[in-house]
Amino acid sequence: MESQTQPTGFKQYLPWIVAAIPALLTFASATAKLTGAQEVRDGLTADGVVQYITLLAITELLIVALYLYPKTLNLGFFLACSYFGGAMAVHISHGQPFTAPIVILTLYWIATFFRKPMLFLPKS
C-alpha cells in the first residue's frame, strides 16, 4: 500500500487560496443583491428578474457555503456551474456582455481542479 505524502507549506494552502477567489466574488455579488445596490438592481431590472433579487442572493450564499465545505464541494461546484451558466444564458438572451459570469465560472473550475483534481481526471 503506497503512502501519500501531504503537501506542506504554501502548497498546503494554495487550493484554499485559489478557492477563496470565486467564493469571495460570489459572496460580494450576494451582498450587493441583499443590500439592494442600485447598479445591481438596474442590471436585474434590465434582465427582468429583479423580483427574484433575494432568492438569487440566497442561492449565491448557499453555493459559497456548499463549495467551501469540503464534504459538499462537488454539490457546490455543480450548483455554481448551473447558476453561472444560467446567468450567461440570461445575459446572452438580452444582448448583454456575459464577461462577469464566465470569469467567475472559469475561476470555479480552476479552483476546483486545485482542490479536487480527481473530479476531472479519469481513474487509473
- Condensed to tens digits (0 to 9), the pLDDT of residues 4-14 reads 666 677 778 88
> What is the rounded average pLDDT of the residues 7-33?
90
For residues 85 and 37, what is the distance between their CA atoms, to the nearest angstrom?
A: 23
Residue 26, pLDDT score: 97
- How many percent of the chain have pLDDT more than 90? 72
Supply the pLDDT for residue 7. 67
Q: Helix, strand, or coil here: 5?
A: coil
How far apart CA 43 and CA 30 sit, in angstroms, is 14
Q: Where are the alpha helices (DSSP H) in 36-98?
A: 38-47, 53-68, 73-93
Give the domain ranges of the chain. 11-35+50-116
Cα 64–94–55 angle (5° rounding)?
Answer: 30
Average the pLDDT over 101-107 and give the result. Answer: 95
Q: Which comes out higher in pLDDT, residue 19 or 8?
A: 19
108: how many CB neighbours lie within 10 A of its CB? 26
